[in-house]
Amino acid sequence: MAARNIRLANEAWEALSRAQALLAHELTEADIWGDLLPLEYGVLHALSNAPHGLRISELRDDALLITQPGMSRLVIRLEARGLVERGDDPDDARASRIRLTPDGLAAQQRVGAAVARHVAETMNRALDPGDLAVLRDLSSGLLASARNERAAARAAQARGRTRKPAAQKKTHVPDEDADHVEKGNTP
């Protein structure tokens, strides 16, 4: 890999990471959540796109990067509030699927409308429709690649072999790019 690609990849990652963190903080602090926490809304949103429900492990994989016990506690809280319910998993009698209740769907739609308006205002401040389409497509490509790598690593692990994801593989860093890496400017 050419030094230029390493540097450019890291600069792109840093910009993406900083923009996402800042915009996520702005969204989290916005007065749009009603009686939901942003993470609770994230669960309701993920379930709104899954008419047959999701397993807790699938909820975790839906970009809600919390631990399995943390997700279980979150689902229990939402269940106690009547926003989600557990149902049988037709594919695995040992597992259950989490589904939205009518109240959960109403909460997701109410808060979702406010979130969508705020996201649109935030994104449209700096990006025109063409930029938004490019950003969507680039982000979708990164997400698909990461999910494929993760699935391959899990499959290899299930077969008894381990495989490091591409991002964790050791690569040679050319000398002219060493300053960038030594300063900690890597993902």
On whether both 25 and 115 belong to a single domain, the answer is: yes
The single residue listed with the structure tokens 């594919």 is 91
Kindly report which listed range (47-61, 98-112, 148-162, 167-181) carries the lowest average pLDDT score. 167-181
The pLDDT value recorded for residue 94 is 86
2 domain-assigned: no
Write out pLDDT tens, residues 6-52: 999 999 999 999 999 999 999 999 999 999 999 999 999 999 999 89
The answer, yes or no, to whether residue 124 has pLDDT greater than 90, is yes
On whether both 112 and 67 belong to a single domain, the answer is: yes
153 domain-assigned: yes
On whether both 27 and 114 belong to a single domain, the answer is: yes
The pLDDT value recorded for residue 64 is 64
Read off the pLDDT band of 133 (50, 70, 90): very high
On whether both 118 and 152 belong to a single domain, the answer is: no
* Long-range contacts of the stretch 88-93 (C-beta < 8 A, 24+): 89/55
In this predicted model, which residue has the larger pLDDT, 140 or 163? 140
- C-alpha angle with apex 66: 167 to 73, nearest 5 degrees? 160
Strand duo 84-88 + 96-100: pairing: antiparallel
Average pLDDT along the chain: 84
The answer, yes or no, to whether residue 173 has pLDDT greater than 60, is no
Interatomic CA distance for residues 117 and 26, integer angstroms? 13
On whether both 61 and 77 belong to a single domain, the answer is: yes
Contact of 119 with 27, CB cutoff 8 Å: yes
Mean pLDDT of 110-137: 94
What region does 53 belong to: left with phi over 0, alpha with psi -120 to 50, or beta?
A: left
Query: Closest by alpha carbon to 53, among 82, 91, 81?
Result: 91
On whether both 38 and 52 belong to a single domain, the answer is: yes
Write out pLDDT tens, residues 53-88: 999 888 887 656 788 888 989 999 999 999 999 998
On whether both 40 and 66 belong to a single domain, the answer is: yes
The pLDDT value recorded for residue 1 is 55
On whether both 151 and 82 belong to a single domain, the answer is: no
How many structural domains are present in the chain?
A: 2
On whether both 119 and 153 belong to a single domain, the answer is: no
The answer, yes or no, to whether residue 149 has pLDDT greater than 60, is yes
Interatomic CA distance for residues 90 and 46, integer angstroms? 20
- H-state helical runs in 62-126: 68-80, 102-124
The pLDDT value recorded for residue 185 is 47
The pLDDT value recorded for residue 155 is 87
On whether both 151 and 60 belong to a single domain, the answer is: no
On whether both 30 and 119 belong to a single domain, the answer is: yes
Domain range for 134 is: 129-162
